[in-house]
């Protein structure tokens, strides 16, 4: 037997060890590989193709709403990072410092960008002069570095890929509208492309971004009941503008500070895709984001005409779906497992008997349902089935989220729920930091968000019993 | 008058001060802005849109030839960089070193990637086992950092954007073929998309990439007669494979080392676009790469029906070209200069009199020729004119390159030419490092390449008079 023959090996069951299952899927589906620097990863072709699809959807939505892409430097001088005090306090402890260029020690150390607010602010101060220059609606695709202690591929890594939007506006209202618009774009792409249901809302002051007046978020629930922050959108008011001197002359000829926003989504979404849709056979990808939507596996390839017919189908179907064919000399069973592991939404099997009967077998990845379909009907049937998979995955994820969403009236109840289950706990909150910290300490949950469409389930705070101000989703988070 | 009213200001003439002209164009055409770290730049929306078009052309060509995109980490441990001795000798003096993560001093310092051969090699060693795993045809879009002493936007900067392709193959021949294939793709895009004529050839040993067996290059000539290396493609043989232990089991069951290539093109191409096509009115962009191919400027906008008609034309033409319209309250003359500065290939002017006569005025950026064109003919005429501009720019650049290409039979002649002119000097060479260094010392020119289609103009080396081995393009380079 060949020395290194690759087999589709069993992965850990998600019920046995969810964390190990996750790592197995990342590795076996060939999404990422470890690199020699702790916490950094190589994003492999299949993982990167998913990211390219996420990028394409976001980039189109950004451009359709008037945003332009720019590129900001990767290095930030320490003095620039320090210009806004809340911001530097939040990020300085977790940046990587460059102290030498070649053999030369630098006069001032530089950090690798953990986020680019300070760079954008410096640039805006250069280019914004008049109200005619506003708004500036910029976006930046790049990687950032944060010196995290505990890391996991896609979910939390020293370096990750993301986009960060940064905009400046003449009025506070325009900036707030922008913040909400971008959050809605994120939510729309999560739900309608990634089939990941999200709760839209606002972060508490404790959980908001360093330097922001308000942080809005979309939160989703993973298969294990832990919450994942999928994207955030920040309203800065004129705090950064004052720290960096970003002023413009308004229509009346007076100098004013701009109002600013930033918003970002990261490769973490690939982690969400794995943990929301995956199963014990591996990844399950929604068709709209899948690099390959249909995989053709010819059966009994040595029989006359099989490969030819399969190739002919591939050519024809390439016009309507992202299709690949596997005519390698591996066994069909190996191929079935391999493309299930990779989460390809639909498999098409075709063998000599099928050809005789002018049919193929379609197998759905989500339900593993088999269908015999006439070759003449493929061009209508395949898009229909893909559409159905897309919708079913969202419905299934919504049901799972609802099943793992609980309600509590008291801290004891929160603790009781979270001691035995993992999920969202909805409870009222008075708005004090003390209660927020107590919930964390006693029930082990942080506030995920104050949802836009929250109910009022009680008039009193579940923690202290005083008057409730907010309806909050609490949970254990990644 | 408004405090900061923006005017299209005169730029320095290229004949007066070419370097200052270049800097003026970068700034006034809003391609880039300086950042607070020396030698780093902000790529502004217009500059980034050009880069996105370059990326799209390259990425499509890479994918059409079977390449896949991946992402490699930005950080390389010092010990990994040191694994291939020629490579580390070439790059170690010019890397940025990360020594601290947060408050913690690192046990081993990390460099920001100056190029990613070492990271790819480490990964290939993980994933390549059998001949069935070969070839791996990977590409990586990212930014890299090199601690350059003298920097200029796009041409030479501390950080720049690029793509780096990295491939491993079972045989040397296959790797060599890949190296040449990618060089041809680069040359094709330079000539047919960017309208930049290039000389294809091989670098001398002195000029080749650190760690390569052979480096192939495309070289072009700028308006000032200086040469610019536009892209390189390297054949590594099995040198890196041996240093990193990248082996595979061949069909006969024996362990063998892979053969490797890498190839890259950078944001430097934006510098080439400026310096090959630009003139004293600013940038001149070839239509195939221009973010905006047609700019509509309505004249006498306050007259009834002008804006409406202009908008109607914009909607109609958007189906066939990348078109924008400027209906801001700036003067038409300001707008004409602005879009000439930005190198928009074609301008469409429309006013009340034009509308009466069912016509518009088209103005070419390259020749500034004015044409009156019937509105009914726009959809055929505009693509024709754009195509003609595209071709004319390439022809014009080719003629300019030929006019600045000289031939010399001796070192004295080389010196005489290069003392009074700047351009390519074609001369025969014996192949010795001594002569190459002497040409540099005496005539001030480095070897640019040994062209694939070089003539034999003499049997003796222009420098030492011994037997000539190679026909070489020499020149002063950026």
Q: Are A5 and A127 in contact (CB under 8 A)?
A: no
**B49: chain A residues, CB-CB within 8 Å:** 68-69
Say whether A98 and B93 touch across the interface (CB within 8 A).
no
Q: Would you state the pLDDT for residue A456?
A: 81
Residue B204 and residue B174 share a domain: yes
Query: Looking at the domain assignment, is residue B432 inside a domain?
Result: yes
Query: Looking at the domain assignment, is residue A4 inside a domain?
Result: no
Residue A214 and residue A82 share a domain: yes
Say whether B77 and A37 touch across the interface (CB within 8 A).
yes
- Rounded to whole angstroms, the Cα distance separating B227 from B425 reads 11
**B331: chain A residues, CB-CB within 8 Å:** none
Residue numbers of A between 375 and 434 with CB closer than 8 Å to B: none
End-to-end CA distance of chain A: 43
Say whether A249 and B33 touch across the interface (CB within 8 A).
no
Residue numbers of A between 259 and 318 with CB closer than 8 Å to B: none
Taking Cα atoms as reference points, which of A193, A177, A335, A183 lies closest to residue A259?
A177
Residue A358 and residue A247 share a domain: no
**A123: chain B residues, CB-CB within 8 Å:** 33, 35, 42
Query: Tell me: the pLDDT tens digits for A70-94?
Result: 999 999 999 999 998 888 888 888 9
Is the Cβ of A60 closer than 8 Å to some Cβ of chain B?
no
Residue A380 and residue A267 share a domain: no
Indicate if the pLDDT at residue A131 is higher than 90. Answer: yes
| ∠ Cα A58 A64 A68 (to 5°) | 80
Say whether A74 and B143 touch across the interface (CB within 8 A).
yes
- Rounded to whole angstroms, the Cα distance separating B283 from A324 reads 43
Say whether A40 and B75 touch across the interface (CB within 8 A).
yes
Residue B103 and residue B25 share a domain: yes
* CATH code of the domain containing A349: 3.40.50.800
Q: Report phi then psi at B452, rounded to 5.
A: -60, -35
In A, minimum Cα distance to B138 occurs at: A45
Structural tokens at position B213 = 């067996």
Is the Cβ of A328 closer than 8 Å to some Cβ of chain B?
yes
Residue B234 and residue B317 share a domain: no
Omega cis (within 30) before A338:
no
Query: Tell me: the pLDDT tens digits for A12-36?
Result: 999 999 999 999 999 999 999 999 9
Per-10-residue mean pLDDT of chain B, 478 residues long, equals 47 96 97 94 98 98 98 96 87 93 95 96 97 97 95 96 98 98 98 98 95 96 97 97 97 97 98 98 98 97 95 97 96 96 98 97 97 98 98 98 97 96 96 97 96 88 96 96
Domain total for chain A? 3
Query: Looking at the domain assignment, is residue A465 inside a domain?
Result: yes
Residue A367 and residue A236 share a domain: no
For residue B37, give the nearest of A77, A104, A126 by CB distance.
A77
CA distance A159 to chain B (A): 7
Strand order in the sheet with A446-451: A68-69, A136-145, A159-169, A259-266, A227-237, A214-221, A199-202, A446-451, A470-475, A424-429, A405-407
Taking Cα atoms as reference points, which of A50, A73, A72, A70 lies closest to residue A62?
A70
Strand partners, B321: none
Query: Tell me: the pLDDT tens digits for A404-451?
Result: 999 999 999 999 999 999 999 999 999 999 999 999 999 999 999 999
Half-sphere exposure of A456 (CA within 13 A, CB side): 7
Query: Looking at the domain assignment, is residue B6 inside a domain?
Result: no
Q: Would you state the pLDDT for residue B4?
A: 35
* CATH code of the domain containing A266: 3.30.930.10
Say whether B74 and A3 touch across the interface (CB within 8 A).
no
Chain A interface, mutation test: which of B26, B34, B37, most A Cβ atoms within 10 Å?
Answer: B37
CA distance A386 to chain B (A): 25
Residue numbers of B between 342 and 371 with CB closer than 8 Å to A: none
Q: Are A114 and A146 in contact (CB under 8 A)?
A: yes
Q: ipTM value of the model?
A: 0.95
For residue A52, give the nearest of B69, B112, B147 by CB distance.
B69
CA distance A239 to chain B (A): 21
Q: Pick from A250, A277, A304: which residue ends a domain? A: A277
Is the Cβ of B51 closer than 8 Å to some Cβ of chain A?
yes
Chain A interface, mutation test: which of B47, B62, B75, most A Cβ atoms within 10 Å?
Answer: B75
* CATH code of the domain containing B471: 3.30.110.30
Over range A208-215, report the average pLDDT. 94
Contacts of B207 (CB under 8 A, 6+ apart): B215, B446, B447
Say whether A45 and B70 touch across the interface (CB within 8 A).
yes
Say whether A48 and B40 touch across the interface (CB within 8 A).
no
Say whether B96 and A75 touch across the interface (CB within 8 A).
yes
Is the Cβ of B245 closer than 8 Å to some Cβ of chain A?
no
For residue B119, give the nearest of A35, A102, A145 by CB distance.
A35
Chain B interface, mutation test: which of A32, A33, A77, A97, most B Cβ atoms within 10 Å?
Answer: A97
Q: Is A271 in a helix, a strand, or coil?
A: helix
**A253: chain B residues, CB-CB within 8 Å:** 2-3
| Other Cβ atoms closer than 10 A to A331 | 9
Residue numbers of A between 153 and 192 with CB closer than 8 Å to B: 158-159, 161
Say whether B101 and A77 touch across the interface (CB within 8 A).
no
Query: Looking at the domain assignment, is residue A400 inside a domain?
Result: no
Say whether A45 and B145 touch across the interface (CB within 8 A).
no
Say whether B76 and A161 touch across the interface (CB within 8 A).
no
Q: Pick from A352, A385, A418: which residue ends a domain? A: A385
Query: Looking at the domain assignment, is residue B11 inside a domain?
Result: no
For residue B98, give the nearest of A45, A96, A253 by CB distance.
A96
Say whether A122 and B35 touch across the interface (CB within 8 A).
yes
Q: Pick from B354, B388, B422: which residue ends a domain? A: B388
Residue B421 and residue B328 share a domain: no
**B99: chain A residues, CB-CB within 8 Å:** 97-100
Say whether B102 and A112 touch across the interface (CB within 8 A).
no
Residue B173 and residue B36 share a domain: yes
Structural tokens at position A246 = 């970003």
**A40: chain B residues, CB-CB within 8 Å:** 73-75
Chain A interface, mutation test: which of B50, B63, B79, B101, most A Cβ atoms within 10 Å?
Answer: B101
Query: Looking at the domain assignment, is residue A227 inside a domain?
Result: yes
Q: Would you state the pLDDT for residue A470?
A: 96
Chain A interface, mutation test: which of B73, B94, B159, most A Cβ atoms within 10 Å?
Answer: B73
CA distance A63 to chain B (A): 12
- Rounded to whole angstroms, the Cα distance separating B452 from B455 reads 9
Strand blocks (E) in B250-289: 255-257, 259-266
pTM: 0.96
- Rounded to whole angstroms, the Cα distance separating A124 from A242 reads 12
**B100: chain A residues, CB-CB within 8 Å:** 96-97, 99, 109
Residue B425 and residue B358 share a domain: no
Residue B147 and residue B26 share a domain: yes
Domain interval for residue B463: 405-475
Q: Would you state the pLDDT for residue A9?
A: 64
Q: Mean pLDDT score of chain A, rounded to an integer?
A: 95
| Other Cβ atoms closer than 10 A to A98 | 27
Query: Looking at the domain assignment, is residue B136 inside a domain?
Result: yes
Residue A304 and residue A272 share a domain: no
Structural tokens at position A31 = 């999404």
- Rounded to whole angstroms, the Cα distance separating A199 from A219 reads 5
Structural tokens at position A286 = 């929604």
């Amino acid at each position: 037997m060949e020395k290194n023959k690759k087999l589709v090996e069993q992965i850990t069951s998600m019920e046995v060890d969810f964390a190990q299952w996750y790592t197995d899927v990342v590795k076996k589906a060939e999404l990422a590989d470890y690199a020699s620097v702790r916490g950094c990863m190589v994003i492999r072709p299949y993982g990167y193709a998913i990211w390219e699809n996420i990028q394409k959807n976001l980039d189109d939505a950004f451009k359709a709403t008037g945003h332009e892409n720019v590129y900001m430097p990767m290095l930030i001088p320490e003095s620039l990072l320090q210009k806004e005090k809340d911001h530097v306090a939040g990020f300085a402890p977790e940046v990587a410092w460059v102290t030498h260029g070649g053999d030369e020690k630098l006069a001032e150390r530089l950090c690798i960008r953990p986020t680019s607010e300070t760079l954008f602010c410096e640039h805006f101060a250069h280019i914004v002069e008049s109200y005619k220059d506003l708004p500036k609606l910029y976006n930046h695709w790049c990687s950032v570095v944060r010196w995290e202690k505990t890391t996991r591929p896609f979910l939390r890594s020293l370096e990750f890929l993301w986009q960060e939007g940064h905009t400046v506006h003449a009025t506070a209202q325009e900036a707030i509208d922008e913040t909400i618009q971008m959050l809605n774009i994120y939510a729309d792409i999560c739900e309608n492309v990634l089939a990941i249901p999200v709760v839209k809302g606002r972060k508490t002051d404790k959980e908001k971004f360093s330097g922001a007046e308000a942080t809005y978020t979309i939160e989703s629930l993973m298969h294990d009941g832990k919450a994942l922050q999928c994207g955030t959108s920040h309203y800065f008011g004129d705090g950064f503008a004052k720290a960096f001197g970003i002023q413009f002359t308004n229509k009346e000829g007076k100098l004013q500070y701009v109002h600013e926003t930033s918003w970002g989504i990261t490769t973490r979404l690939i982690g969400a895709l794995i943990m929301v849709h995956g199963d014990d056979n591996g990844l399950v990808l929604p068709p709209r984001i899948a690099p390959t939507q249909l995989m053709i596996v010819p059966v009994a390839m040595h029989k006359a005409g099989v490969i030819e017919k399969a190739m002919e189908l591939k050519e024809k179907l390439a016009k309507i779906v992202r299709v690949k064919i596997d005519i390698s000399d591996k066994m069909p069973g190996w191929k079935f497992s391999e493309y299930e592991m990779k989460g390809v939404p639909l498999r098409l099997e075709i063998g000599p008997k099928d050809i005789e009967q002018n049919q193929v077998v379609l197998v759905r990845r989500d339900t593993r349902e088999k269908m015999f379909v006439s070759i003449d009907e493929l061009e209508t049937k395949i898009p229909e089935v893909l559409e159905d998979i897309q919708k079913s995955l969202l419905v299934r994820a919504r049901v799972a989220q609802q099943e793992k969403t609980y309600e509590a009236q008291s801290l004891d109840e929160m603790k009781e729920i979270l001691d035995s289950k993992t999920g969202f706990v909805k409870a009222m909150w008075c708005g004090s930091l003390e209660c927020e910290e107590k919930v964390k300490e006693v029930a082990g949950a942080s506030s995920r968000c104050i949802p836009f469409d929250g109910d009022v389930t009680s008039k009193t705070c579940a923690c202290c019993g005083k008057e409730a101000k907010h309806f909050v989703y609490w949970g254990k988070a990644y």
